[in-house]
Amino acid sequence: MFDQSRAQRGAPQGATRRLRAEDCIIVDNRELRKAQVGAGVGNFIEWYDIGIYGYLAVTMTSVFTEGMDERMGLLVTLLGFAVSFVVRPLGGMILGPLGDKIGRRKVLFFTMALMAAATTTIGLLPSAGQVGLWVIIPLYLLKMLQGFSTGGEYSGAATYIAEFSPDRNRGFMTALLNSGSMLGFAVGAGVVAATTALTTSAWGAQAMHDGGWRLPFLLALPLGILAISLRSRIPESPAFEVAHDKTTNPDVNPLFVRHNLPNILRFYWPQILIGIALIAADGTSSYMLTSYMPTYIETEVGSPAVHTAVAAVVVLVLQAVLIPLVARWSDRIGRRPIYTMATIGNLVLLIPAFALMHVGTLWSLYLAMFLVMVPSAFFLALTGAVMSELFPTASRYGCVGVTHNLSISIFGGTTPLVSQILVEVTGNPYAPAFYIMFFSAVALFAVFKMRESAAHPLLGSVPVVSSRQEAVELAAGQDSNERLDTGTMLLTPAPSGTTLERA
């Protein structure tokens, strides 16, 4: 196993110091709450935007591919979902290092504005019946803008919250982002279900095709304005501020240097490979539940869209509740045991879940989605924390942006498209389950290669604590505390005006 904390030990200029209580950062709970809300609301809206496209996929097919073969049109629509992920790595590669250079806060403000604008504009596009099939081109371009924005959104929000959170409950704090994601997806599904019910009851069965589909997209405008307003008030990450002025000296340990993309790949490729494997399992499992199962159940099982959307709302709300509970558990027992449970859960539960879908009853629909949801929740509980814990503060945003977006784009975002192709080519309705299970098996191997990071200080940062007493106890017990390694800490005074205070 690659152990970065040992391979890159040593404080700047080789002067390893002992941790003092005054080196620790004490969380200002008011600022932490402000940061949590500001980062979380953007993540919520991002997944609302992604969710409404997934739950409107069948309707969007009739709107944007009118006149095309229905099954081919569905693939074209799902390609629109996948194409947004083609540019996500580009967003991560550009916005991540930029966030390491100018700050997490400024980049997160930009990503939210871009996402809201692109989603709203989709709701204003004409249909294929009005202007022809060429309308698919601007649809794809807007999905690409969404993807570019998302490339900096989640990696930035996870980095930001991880750096703000006390070490001993960082898993719980960062997991709230994915709870917000699931709630955003649930709200997206709920809005689609409500819009469908209201418009069809008022204007008939064709109401969604005739324009009702626009309403969920246009709602992104007021939601985006709210998120931008909240993000304009959040403070900068204190860990970034402490490290920012110490990352330009080429003589210091690479751990404390702000790296460009080539050096990120050079210094951190082992962690990047581990992260890619974990996110591949996480992403395929999550996007199966949130973005492909509604389409699969409608087209392969024949369940009404409203039933599918309502079931998704219920299951995703349950997942949103389960995610922080699992994350708090991981703060206590470690990240690796939770990942092990997640991977084994997919290997054991997915085939029974797909069998239940084909029973065709309402109870089997709910139970099947629940079985897919549980392992996905275990993965999502750890994503933000583990991605941030793999990499050091000076280059964290860039590293997470590259790792998370490469994997989620290649494997996660393509899950709906690849799954539908597998069903079409093989004729096997269980093919999507085997696809997810493969990546879970790979992730299980990666778990044994990763270092345990629960309750450890972030690499390249000093400990973040909840009270002065905790700081004093850490300093006093550092010789016997296996979670502390001063060689990975930038032991320098905090800058004036920081939003956290030294012990």
pLDDT digit string, tens, across residues 336-360? 999 999 999 999 999 999 999 888 7
Polymer length of the chain: 503
Pairing label, strands 25-26, 464-465: parallel
Tokens of 281: 């399992």
* pLDDT score for 496: 44
263 burial type by CB count under 10 A (0-12 exposed, 13-18 middle, 19+ buried): middle
Query: Once rounded to an integer, what is the mean pLDDT over residues 149-173?
Result: 89
Instruction: Give residue 252's pLDDT.
Output: 58
Q: Are 335 and 454 in contact (CB under 8 A)?
A: yes
Distance (Å, rounded) from C-alpha 267 to C-alpha 254? 8
What is the CATH number that goes with domain 4-502? 1.20.1250.20
Distance CA 268, CA 90 (A): 18
pLDDT at 97: 86
pLDDT of residue 2: 31
pLDDT in the model for residue 492: 53
Judge contact between 385 and 170, C-beta under 8 A.
yes
Q: What percent of the chain has pLDDT over 70?
A: 91
Structure tokens at 464: 């973040």
Amino acid identity for residue 190 in this structure: G
Q: What is the pTM of this model?
A: 0.81
Between these two residues, 231 and 322, which has the higher pLDDT value? 322
Beta strands 501-502 and 25-26 are antiparallel
What would the mean pLDDT of 211-238 be, rounded to a whole number?
85
Best-predicted range by mean pLDDT (35-39, 95-99, 214-218, 245-249): 214-218
pLDDT, average across residues 447-459: 91
User: Which residues lie closer than 8 Å to 15 by C-beta, 6 or more apart?
Assistant: none
- Percent of the chain residues past pLDDT 90, beyond the cut: 31
Confidence of residue 11 (pLDDT cuts 50, 70, 90): very low
Residue 250 has pLDDT above 70, yes or no: no
- Residue 359 pLDDT: 86
> Tens of pLDDT along 298-332?
778 777 767 777 787 788 889 999 999 999 999 99
